[in-house]
Chain A
Amino acid sequence: MIKKDRKFVIGKPPFIRRADSGIVNTKNIMYNFLLSLIPIIVFAWYINGLKPFLNNEIQTFKMIYPLAFVLCAALSSYLIEALYYLLVLKEEACFKKAWDNYAVIPGVLLSMILPLTCPIWVLLIGVIFAIVVVKMLFGGFSYNIFNPALLAYIFVMLAFYDVIMDNSMVDIEILSSATPLTELKALIKKDLSIREIVLNDGGLVKMFLYSQGRSIAESSPILCLISYLFLSFRKAIDYKVPLLYLLVIFIFSYSVAYFLNIDSPLIFSLFNLLNGGVIFASVFMITEPVTSPRNYIAKYIYIIFIAVFTLFLRFIGDLPDGVATAVLFMNMLAPSLDTLTAHLAVDNKKYKKIIYLIIMFCVISLFVAYTIMKLLGE
């Protein structure tokens, strides 16, 4: 018989956990993630709204639009997920459950990668698609295969392209420069020089600091790098992941520029790094833990292939948005990469890992060689 006065609590081992004390638990990781997005949003609002307003170029409504965009997306994604829990899953504590499953994150990310000329009703359609179809229908927080913000971005751009590009919600004069990436094809055919393109845009240093681009994510590479330092210091992301991605992009574009005799391979590689949201995607999209594989070897394969596909789609395909498609393609392959490497990764024999490295190197060089051959032949 067990007396009631000295009853101890039963638990499962281990009885001490790292998540109990400190910053390395899921809630704090996600909150740090949201916190590190705030400087980018504020800076993009300043460049696209506050500065022209202080120079008396636009009116109050158009000044507030970038901030209102993000806040509207955040609020609507939270409400839509709570409504889904209430109506479809018949869950009574729907608001608490939506907050615990981090419903705000896909909405904020989607509003940061859509162009700022997008009207609010298109954004709402995108948020409904992201939350209901991409996140909840697959099972909720840790069961989604695709990144909700990226898949909703591609859906909205395909379905509403004319409406987004042709809108006068934000003044077209400010955002009228065509993205430098659309001039990439002409560059490779040697009609233009890379130095001229960079100088037209204000120089390399200016491209590094800020760009009055179409969306909030592309507005400032240096703030993304500061967020990267903050997040890796607080152990919310792995610091090796963005470095590996940027390194492979640099090497790929450098070798393509070298073999095609473009006048400055170094500026070409930096140009590819600093445009198109590559740095934003490397810090916030590829390090997303739910959609990437769990094994460490599979993670490295995943990152290398995203880098290869990004540049492959940019140079050979006609897409300026190689990053989104490449990430979504590898998201699809992530679970299979997981199980493949889990069966193979347990051996203590080091020569197997060296063989895999050599195979990866050969595959990447095949891609690079094919790109160069195709571009030389045009």
Chain B
Amino acid sequence: MNLNQVYIALKNTKLKLISLLNKEIRKNSLEEYVKIRLMKDAYPVGYERYLINDICKKYDFKYPSDIHVCVFNVYTIYSIFEAIELGKPMIERMVSFNGDGIENTIDVYLKIGTNLKELNEKINKFVNKEEGMYLIAGGPMTGESLQADLYAIGKTDSNFMFLNLKEKYQSEACMGCGRCNLFCPVSLTPILILDAYKRKDKDEIKKLNIERCVNCGICSYVCPSRLELTSTMKLAKKQIMKRGKYDQKR
């Protein structure tokens, strides 16, 4: 299999990294095959679909392999390099601990399978506030919250966050401001999908083009009434995949 082009997508504020990479590319004389593309420093720029839209200028595809494109994370490429060149399986990785619920926000190089609770007790201390704390596997916009820290760190976990809750709030009714549509990176209308989901209207959900959703979480982030739009989009996607049955057991 031959590769035509390799693109490295970087944010345009990381100047030192850009110059380092340029030097390496020139040293190995790979300028025809490896090119650097600079992306703006805004939130959902790192998504697979958005990167292909912006760099390769292709919009009409269902999966990237349809147009012969593969998108990889930096850590995946590094692990592939370790496996092929050094013959080393993935037994350790870098994990970062963030948030205002712990004292030291550090990056740790640890073995896969480490117990999260024992690790935290050895290297960190909790900063507790009254309302409670979230333990999030992943980032603050797209991660999942865990119920307890009896967790073995797997090979895809790169980040853990301990966030203190500000206050307990309730969702209000939709105000109809339209911010979810204004800020959505793929121009969907999440509030109409929420209404169609509540009515169990599968045809309407399909017509509203829900397969373009990238699960970035911006719609819930900007909503003034604190509606749970992002999790509803995930549930609505599941609903139209299932044929006939509508089963949502809690």
Contact = CB atoms under 8 A, between A and B. Distances in A.
Interface string B182-222: 10001111011000000000001001110010000100111
B133 to A, nearest CB: 6
B142 A25 contact: no
Chain A residues touching B, range: 35 or more
B207 A6 contact: no
Interface in A2-32: 2-3, 6-21, 24-26, 29
Interface string A281-309: 00000000111111110010000000000
A20 B175 contact: no
B226 A17 contact: yes
A15 B136 contact: yes
A336 interface: no
B225 A8 contact: no
A295 B189 CA distance: 7
Nearest to A27: B172
A9 B176 contact: no
B176 A294 contact: yes
Nearest to A299: B178
A13 B142 contact: yes
A103 to B, nearest CB: 14
Given A7-B148, A289-B176, A338-B192, A14 B217 contact: yes
A310 to B, nearest CB: 22
A140 B192 CA distance: 18
Given A7-B147, A294-B192, A342-B192, A14 B230 contact: yes
A20 B165 CA distance: 10
A8 B148 contact: yes
A19 B225 contact: yes
B146 interface: yes
A141 interface: yes
Contacts of A18: 221-222, 224
B150 interface: yes
B15 interface: no
Contact of A2 (B140, B148, B167, B222): B148
A182 interface: no
B173 interface: yes
Contacts of B135: 8
Given A6-B149, A14-B140, A19-B226, A289 B217 contact: no
A346 interface: yes
A85 to B, nearest CB: 15
B169 interface: yes
A289 B175 contact: yes
Interface in A342-375: 342-343, 345-346, 348
A331 B75 CA distance: 52
Contacts of B161: 15
B27 interface: no
A345 B226 contact: no
Contacts of A16: 140-141, 163, 221
Contacts of A179: none
A333 B161 CA distance: 46
A299 B209 CA distance: 20
A343 B142 contact: no
Interface residues of B, number: 58
A168 interface: no
Nearest to B162: A8
Given A8-B149, A25-B226, A20 B176 contact: no
A343 B133 contact: no
Nearest to B101: A8
Given A15-B140, A25-B226, A342-B208, A142 B147 contact: no
A18 B59 CA distance: 31
Interface in B209-250: 209, 212, 217, 220-226, 228, 230-231
B175 A346 contact: no
A142 B182 contact: no
A9 B165 contact: yes
B117 interface: yes
A177 interface: no
A296 B225 contact: no
B167 A142 contact: no
B182 A339 contact: no
Contacts of A290: 175-176
B167 A20 contact: yes
Given A20-B167, A290-B176, A343-B208, A12 B140 contact: no
B232 to A, nearest CB: 9
Contacts of A26: 172, 175, 224-225
A25 B225 contact: yes
Contact of B191 (A15, A143, A294, A348): A294
Given A6-B149, A19-B223, A296-B181, A14 B141 contact: yes
A141 B175 CA distance: 8
A24 B147 CA distance: 30
A140 B172 CA distance: 12
A340 to B, nearest CB: 11
Nearest to A101: B173
B191 A345 contact: no
Nearest to B170: A100
A314 B59 CA distance: 47
A338 B204 CA distance: 13
Nearest to B217: A14
B157 interface: no
B225 A13 contact: no
A19 B170 CA distance: 11
6 contacts: A6-B149, A12-B145, A15-B140, A17-B220, A100-B172, A142-B175
Given A19-B225, A25-B226, 4 more contacts: A6-B117, A11-B145, A17-B226, A20-B167
